[in-house]
């Protein structure tokens, strides 16, 4: 049997193709009928040719749906259950999983710590931008959802809501803290929203796309800082009256250097204007001595499109001397979604959290190629592209 899926064709191109339907490969698997699969900013790293991704990958690591087939050894799920899957594929019983670090499972992707659906170097797992998806170790990897409601919010539990939350956890954000969140893309917005939910006293959101800064202001009570209007660190210090307690990097290695961009430039990424260390160095400056930095933004050990040879090997010019002098701590790494998704689900069910405002588009799977192209341009004149949800 075949089904439709979003398949990577090479730099800046995806297409809808017929691929084989997934089957139960192991008694611990389930197969789901996808109801929502989101396009992620990290899919764009592959789409733009900034990773080692080869043509033929089915994209999609942010998946939810309804169980359609159940392996013989699965004990907690049955046909018809509505579930959301963490983007991490994890076994549940390796040392890292036992300790809650499901983003660094050592069993699901031999030779590497961590697996994911539809992502280069993250194991053999197909993506869910398709009609169906196989979920391995399903008892562990499926989070059950109520039968109906909150489709948009629940779909964000696969990645960006927990990842934003993780950014604040890595920085040990506590009620009453002041925090600077660099990046007001989907993850940055979710980090600023998480800071609000946790009771941060003051939240600064740093970006250059006005529609994103407006969302941060409206939904996260953040102070918008536009780095096209001057050094963002100076702006934060001036408004706050000094360094902030905590910082979150929700940008990662494809960061634009504020000194290379001007007001009025378009918002598409231009590698020539990148400085992969600029956000970490800004955080070191913006956060007070002994403050803490959370870095969920993506960094890679190899970047074929890097602006220079050092960065191509993942080596960045970090101001480590200043970090040391200020006695700051930092936490890095991809999100262990299972550490947070159950509690965040319950906050959604109870009405304490509703992250669905970050969703800008919900469209049919067949529109994926166009959506990738438009999302990659980051912004259009009349509409913001923050989060695109696909439904088969
Ligand atoms: Zn994602
Ligand atoms: Zn594991």
Token couple for 212:
């994103």
Q: What is the value of pTM for the model shown? A: 0.95
Give burial (CB, 10 Å; 0-12/13-18/19+) of 329: middle
In angstroms, the CA 281 to CA 251 distance is 12
The closest ligand to the CA of 40 turns out to be: 1
How many angstroms separate the alpha carbon of residue 119 from the centre of ligand 2?
A: 18
95 Cα–ligand 2 center, Å:
7
> Please, what is the angle between helix 278-286 and helix 232-240, to 10°?
20
Q: Which ligand is nearest to the CA of 163?
A: 1
Three-class SS state of 344: helix
Measuring CA to CA, which residue among 170, 165, 104 is closest to residue 331? 170
The whole-angstrom separation of Cα 279 and Cα 169 is 18
pLDDT for position 31? 98
Name the nearest CA neighbour of 355 among 157, 172, 222.
157
Q: Give the ligand with the smallest distance to the CA of 157.
A: 1
* Residue-level pLDDT at 136: 98
Can you give the length of the chain in residues?
392
Ligand 2: distance of its center to the CA of 382 in Å?
A: 44
With bands split at pLDDT 50, 70 and 90, how would you rate the model's confidence at 381? low
CA 297 to ligand 2 centroid distance, Å? 23
Mean pLDDT, range 292-304, rounded to an integer: 90
Give the pair of three-digit tokens for residue 122. Answer: 């993250």
Angle between helices 186-197 and 160-170 (to 10 degrees): 60
- Identify the pLDDT of residue 266: 67
Distance 252 CA to ligand 2 centre (A): 25
Mean predicted confidence (pLDDT) in 191-195: 98
Q: What is the DSSP letter of 225?
A: E
Question: What is the Å distance from ligand 1's center to 134 Cα?
Answer: 18
């Amino acid at each position: 049997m075949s089904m439709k899926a979003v398949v990577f064709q090479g730099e800046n191109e995806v297409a809808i193709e017929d691929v084989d339907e997934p089957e139960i490969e192991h008694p611990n698997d389930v197969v789901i009928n996808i109801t929502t699969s989101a396009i992620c900013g990290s899919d764009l790293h592959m789409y733009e040719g900034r990773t080692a991704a080869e043509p033929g990958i089915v994209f999609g690591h942010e998946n939810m749906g309804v169980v359609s087939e159940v392996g013989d050894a699965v004990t907690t799920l049955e046909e018809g259950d509505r579930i959301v899957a963490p983007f991490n594929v994890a076994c549940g019983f390796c040392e890292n999983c036992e300790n809650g670090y499901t983003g660094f499972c050592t069993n699901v992707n031999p030779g590497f710590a961590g697996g994911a659906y539809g992502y280069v170097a993250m194991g053999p797992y197909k993506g869910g931008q398709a009609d169906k998806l196989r979920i391995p170790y399903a008892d562990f990897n499926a989070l059950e959802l109520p039968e109906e409601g909150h489709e948009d919010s629940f779909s964000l539990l696969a990645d960006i809501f927990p990842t934003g939350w993780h950014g604040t956890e890595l920085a040990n954000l506590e009620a009453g803290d002041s925090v600077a969140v660099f990046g007001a893309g989907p993850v940055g917005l979710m980090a600023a929203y998480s800071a609000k939910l946790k009771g941060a006293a003051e939240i600064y959101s740093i970006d250059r796309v006005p529609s994103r800064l407006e969302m941060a202001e409206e939904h996260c009570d953040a102070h918008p800082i536009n780095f096209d209007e001057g050094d963002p660190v100076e702006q934060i210090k001036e408004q706050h009256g000094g360094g902030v307690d905590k910082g979150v990097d929700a940008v990662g290695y494809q960061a634009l250097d504020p000194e290379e961009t001007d007001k009025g430039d378009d918002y598409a990424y231009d590698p020539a204007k990148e400085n992969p260390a600029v956000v970490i160095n800004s955080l070191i400056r913006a956060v007070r001595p002994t403050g803490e930095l959370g870095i969920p933004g993506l960094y890679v050990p190899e970047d074929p499109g890097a602006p220079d040879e050092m960065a191509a090997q993942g080596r960045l010019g970090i101001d480590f001397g200043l970090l040391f002098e200020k006695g700051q701590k930092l936490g890095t790494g991809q999100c262990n979604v299972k550490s947070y998704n159950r509690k965040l689900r319950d906050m959604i069910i109870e009405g304490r959290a509703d992250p669905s405002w970050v969703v800008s588009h919900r469209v049919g799977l067949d529109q994926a190629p166009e959506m990738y192209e438009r999302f990659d341009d980051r912004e259009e004149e009349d509409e913001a592209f923050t989060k695109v949800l696909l439904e088969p």
